[in-house]
Amino acid sequence: STLTKDVDKTTYGGFVDVDLADGKLSLRSL
């Protein structure tokens, strides 16, 4: 899984975990 800073900036209070293996985008709240 990779975390991009650009995506992290747009998601306040959470982070987007992009799993390239599955090609799925999951939003997880902190």
pLDDT at 27: 55
Instruction: Give the tens place of pLDDT for each residue, 5-19.
Output: 666 555 545 555 555
Average the pLDDT over 17-27 and give the result.
55
HEC secondary structure over 1-30: CECCHHHHHHCCCEEEEEECCCCEEEEEEC
pLDDT at 25: 55
pLDDT at 30: 43
Which residue carries 């209070």 as its tokens? 13
> Which range of residues forms the domain containing residue 16?
1-30
Q: How many structural domains does the chain have? A: 1
User: How many CB atoms are located within 10 Å of the residue 7 CB?
Assistant: 15
Chain centroid offset of residue 4 CA: 7
Chain centroid offset of residue 13 CA: 12
Whole-prediction pTM: 0.15
pLDDT at 22: 55
